[in-house]
């Protein structure tokens, strides 16, 4: 009987450290990621990835329903959404009018009252599946050097084939979008502000060439 008592009072064998780490990891893996966590995960695997490019890719996947997302807003599809205190699923179609705010873990939306921002999060498993290619890609540096010359040629071609942009007609934004896609397709992920600066310069040069 004494032997049995001694056995019953013996503390349980400690888990191996490796097993403990794995168990803790399983317990604490979040199901949802914030915007900054998505960006951080991609840049951890691909430090050269441009943040604007990461956000555009994330937005596109959400808009097409490939990455599920939740935000602190709700409302019927035919009416404007309103901010709330709990996370609700974001309908894929709503992403058409949604943009990321300067507060990286929040979004703003055309369907919410003006200047309203709400928290948003993304299904981690979906992010892993859809954005792994970007996270493991070897991005070319954003410093394009002589490749800016090729980009300028493309911009001039675009300006020749389309009406010259005038103030307020949205033409410059369309050209910026075209050049962003042109650069992305060639592996050059450049900040929006840099593209805007070059497009403005090319427009001025193109206009002067017509004189």
Q: Give percent above pLDDT 70 in the chain.
A: 75
188: three-class secondary structure by DSSP: strand
Least confident of 46-55, 90-99, 138-147: 138-147
Higher-pLDDT residue of 120 and 4 is: 120
Please name the residue that has the structure tokens 């979008």.
177
List alpha helices for the chain, DSSP H: 2-9, 17-28, 35-45, 51-63, 124-136, 147-161, 171-185, 192-209
Higher-pLDDT residue of 189 and 87 is: 87
Please state, in angstroms and rounded to a whole number, the distance separating the CA atoms of residues 168 and 171: 8
Q: What are phi and psi of 142, to 5 degrees?
A: -75, -15
Domain extent listing, the chain: 32-136, 147-209
Query: Does the pLDDT at position 141 exceed 50?
Result: yes
Neighbours of 47 (CB within 10 A): 8
At 97-119, the pLDDT tens digits run 788 876 767 887 766 776 688 99
Confidence at 88, pLDDT banded by 50, 70, 90: very high
Do 170 and 177 form a contact (C-beta atoms < 8 A)?
no
pTM: 0.56
Q: Give percent above pLDDT 90 in the chain.
A: 19
Residue 116's pLDDT is what?
80
Please state, in angstroms and rounded to a whole number, the distance separating the CA atoms of residues 137 and 187: 10
Query: Does the pLDDT at position 127 exceed 80?
Result: yes
**pLDDT (average), residues 9-24:** 44
Residue 182's pLDDT is what?
87
DSSP string, 114-163: TT-EEEEEEEHHHHHHHHHHHHH--PBPS--TTHHHHHHHHHHHHHHHSP
């Amino acid at each position: 009987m004494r032997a049995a008592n001694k056995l019953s009072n013996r503390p349980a064998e400690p888990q191996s450290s490796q097993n403990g780490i794995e168990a803790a990891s399983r317990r604490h893996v979040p199901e949802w990621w914030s915007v900054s966590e998505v960006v951080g995960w991609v840049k951890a695997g691909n430090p050269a990835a441009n943040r604007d490019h990461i956000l555009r890719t994330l937005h596109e996947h959400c808009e097409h329903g490939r990455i599920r997302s939740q935000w602190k807003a709700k409302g019927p599809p035919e009416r404007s959404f309103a901010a709330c205190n709990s996370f609700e699923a974001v309908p894929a179609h709503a992403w058409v009018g949604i943009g990321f705010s300067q507060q990286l873990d929040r979004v703003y939306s055309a369907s919410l009252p003006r200047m309203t921002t709400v928290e948003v999060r993304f299904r981690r498993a979906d992010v892993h599946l859809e954005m792994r290619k970007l996270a493991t890609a070897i991005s070319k540096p954003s410093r394009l050097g002589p490749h800016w010359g090729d980009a300028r040629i493309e911009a001039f071609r675009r300006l020749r084939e389309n009406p010259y942009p005038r103030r307020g007609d949205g033409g410059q934004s369309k050209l910026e979008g075209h050049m962003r896609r042109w650069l992305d397709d060639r592996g050059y992920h450049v900040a929006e502000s840099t593209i805007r600066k070059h497009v403005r310069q090319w427009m001025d040069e193109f206009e002067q060439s017509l004189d």
